Amino acid sequence: MIPRFRIAVLPGDGIGPEVMAPALALLHRAAERVGLALATEEHQAGAACWRETGEALPKATMQACRTADAILLAAMGDPAIRYPDGTEIAPQLDLRFELGLYAGIRPVRVIPGVKTPLADPRASGIDLVILRESTEGLFWSRGRGEVRNDAEARDTLVITRATTARLADFAFRLARARRDRGGKNLVTCVDKANVFTSFAFFRRVFDERAAAHPDVRAAHHYVDAMALDLVRRPWAFDVIVTENMFGDILSDLGAALMGGMGYAPSADVGDAHAVFQPCHGSAPDIAGRGVANPTAMILSGAMLLEWLGERHSEPRAVRAGSLLRRAVDAAFAGGRLVTPEHGGTAGTRTVAEAIGAALAALDPGEAARP
């Protein structure tokens, strides 16, 4: 029987629906090529939804996310639509907390043919993953911060042993899996353990877990030095594991290394659920113009297929994900597709069509090889 995975689809706001439509079409085509069926169903959530219904993440959408095999999300929020306290509507953060998606996976890989801002020839070999804790850290304070007498404001950063240990174990397993595909077998813990008790604790728990994974190399970096080295020698890193806020900042730096927000995919993974979405936001500055780069969204779809395949021991899903990624690489190879971020004219449709053509030309059997 053909397995049929159910995917909850949340197109969201701004450029979200613009990049979701071509990504979904390509996801179905990649799945079809390996004999897999996907049942995708769209649901409402986001800033426009809040304005229309009073709910940013309606109960029906949350329920659909809970029961789906995976969740594909584009982008949510609109700086022009805010909660009364001035904060932006970000139901993607609620999903992370509600579903316990503690491992934020932010791959930083330069697609051959896409311009990276670094002139060093080694930059084409950048291939690392930032693992951002996604349910606590400084983001624990979201909705809990306080302003006292209009004279002082406080937010609290929380690090727990349970989440840090789970995240560290996740990082070591990820490095091991990457090692089998030629990775550097290295996990770097990024913190500010020289100043804060919370980060000294983060590091201590990381070190305890490192001892349980002696076959993988473990290293430490302070976050400020990491920012420096991500520009100076990013090719030296493999898996970087860090707190929520540090990961938020470093992953945008990583997106810049890849050529911009339009190229950076991501996944937020827990023990039972996972959300796949591009790193970028709803980009209201370019919405409605047909220029949004759909690559990050498409690569997030490839991550979804691979995750489903590994979780359900379904090699065809892994193959479909790898096929989609290879189609992206083939479309950009030789620098023939230049997006507006880099001064080119390849808008949403052109990029999606080029990836579609590359997908049609690929041999799906070959995708099985690493």
Residues of the shown chain interacting with ligand ATP in the complex, contacts defined by CB under 6 A: 15, 19, 77, 261-262, 280-283, 285-286, 292-293, 296, 341
Q: How far is the CB of 278 from ligand ATP (least distance, A)?
A: 6
Nearer CB in complex with ligand ATP: 17/77 = 77
CB of 120 to ligand ATP, least distance (A): 24
Contact assessment for residue 308 and residue 5, using Cβ atoms and an 8 Å cutoff: yes
Judge contact between 166 and 104, C-beta under 8 A.
Answer: no
319 contact partners, CB below 8 Å, separation of at least 6: 34, 309, 364, 367, 368
**Could you please report the per-residue DSSP string of 61-124?**
HHHHHHHSSEEEEEE--BTTBB-TTSPBP-HHHHHHHHTT--EEEEEEEPPTTSPPS--SGGGG
Q: Which is nearer to ligand ATP, 73 or 218 (CB)?
A: 73
Question: Judged by CB, which is closer to ligand ATP: 13, or 306?
Answer: 13
Q: Which is nearer to ligand ATP, 215 or 285 (CB)?
A: 285
Closer residue to ligand ATP (CB): 286 or 331: 286
CA distance 240 to 219: 9
> What's the closest the beta carbon of residue 338 comes to ligand ATP, in angstroms?
13
The minimum distance between CB 299 and ligand ATP, in angstroms, equals: 11
Least separation in angstroms between residue 286's CB and ligand ATP is 4
164 vs 348 by CB, closer to ligand ATP: 348
Tell me the closest approach of the beta carbon of residue 331 to ligand ATP, in angstroms: 15
Which residue has its beta carbon closest to ligand ATP? 281
> Where is 40: in which H helix or E strand?
strand 37-42
Maximum distance among all Cα pairs of the chain, rounded to whole angstroms: 65
Instruction: Mention every residue, 6+ apart, whose C-beta is less than 8 A from residue 66.
Output: 99, 273
